[in-house]
Structure 1
């Protein structure tokens, strides 16, 4: 397995550092470094890229807009990697289809594991960011569990799976927790997404924690 990656960041020091870090893992192949979102979109349209690591704040085109265009026109999975944890950026990236949202100060191993999870179909968003979204969208009042979602839309099993997703569990971890197969978990997630008109599991986490659809 070789995961083909590009790195988009307008800071050359960050780009090169990430390149060096990712190249220490044999499962990654960094195809290119680019300096803004527009270049990332153009590269992904012309090449087979598995994951685009995108900084949020870049000249010409930021990571949020680049995510939107990459998702719309390629099979590449965008992952936001940034030093910023601003709510608007998080929600914008989620809304536009980002498959992961990570802070740059993570240990290399955590970044590696997150990229592998995204490659295999699991969306990743850090607990710190989910907590921040939960707080800000509830006007400073913590939302507990499914307190603000319409529980009549879902079966008890679906609510349990949503709770696990909100805790950051992977499909495999949910399957082990609930003693069901990974395929069954995937089917439940597809059903949940269809009921609330969402596209990926990170949106389920945000919906479960806040009662809001993004």
Structure 2
């Protein structure tokens, strides 16, 4: 089995080494290196072949969000923001800079493991708490005010985008609109195709802000 090659970047040596020990215990992972700041992380990914870069947000010299931009633009490594902070500014910037995931460090190790594997296989992971922070920051109303170009989407697509922006799962959307989960998935695929977005969190942000990240 080919192992997933991982770089860890965190300025806290205790967390850095702890992550290294935990992730190294999984047979599907190979920890390539553990570095202390974003500049070292970006440099490492440019000069080595890494599949995943786990990046803390707040690091000296260059933070994880800034490193994400360099890694996403100049390498094939997939950046994941792994942090104790869920600041709105960092969430949006991380998305804009090409992060494939945004996870909080207080997750169970198994959840981080599953997220890494999901992202390695071509998907993106942004926790509900992340979407909630964006939603609460952008809209005080329980019904988000759409900022999108409504002519680009069908009425049903706009309904689904609105429910995604409220944090509804595909199953909840299907129950709300009385359609199958498969039909919901097909609509989401259509929305992603029209916008060039990659995942539902980006759909929610686009619906709320009118901006593509």
* TM-score, normalised relative to structure 2: 0.82
**2:86 is equivalent to residue 88 of structure 1:** no
Unmatched segments (≥5 aa) in structure 2: 175-179
How far off its partner does 1:212 sit?
3.5
Q: Match for residue 44 of structure 1? A: 45
Residue aligned with 1:80, SS: strand
Q: Is the 8 A contact 2:88 2:133 kept in 1?
A: yes
How far off its partner does 1:28 sit?
1.2
Distance 2:187 2:127 in 1: 21
- Aligned pairs, number: 201
Q: Match for residue 121 of structure 1? A: 122
CA spacing shift, 1:36–1:57, aligned 2, 3 Å: same
Deviations 1:51-105 (CA, angstroms, capped at 9, x unpaired): 1000000011001110000111001110000011111111111111111001100
Q: Is the 8 A contact 1:146 1:211 kept in 2?
A: no
Residue aligned with 1:32, SS: strand
Q: Match for residue 135 of structure 2? A: 134
Distance 2:163 2:114 in 1: 19
CA spacing shift, 1:6–1:155, aligned 2, 3 Å: same
**2:27 is equivalent to residue 26 of structure 1:** yes
How far off its partner does 1:120 sit?
1.3
How far off its partner does 1:113 sit?
1.2
Distance 1:44 1:5 in 2: 10
**2:210 is equivalent to residue 207 of structure 1:** no
Larger radius of gyration: 2
Q: Match for residue 71 of structure 1? A: 72
**2:20 is equivalent to residue 10 of structure 1:** no
How far off its partner does 1:44 sit?
0.5
Q: Is the 8 A contact 1:134 1:142 kept in 2?
A: no
Unmatched segments (≥5 aa) in structure 1: none
How far off its partner does 1:200 sit?
3.1
Q: Match for residue 179 of structure 1? A: 182
Q: Match for residue 177 of structure 2? A: none
Distance 2:51 2:15 in 1: 20
Distance 2:88 2:155 in 1: 30
Distance 1:118 1:169 in 2: 19
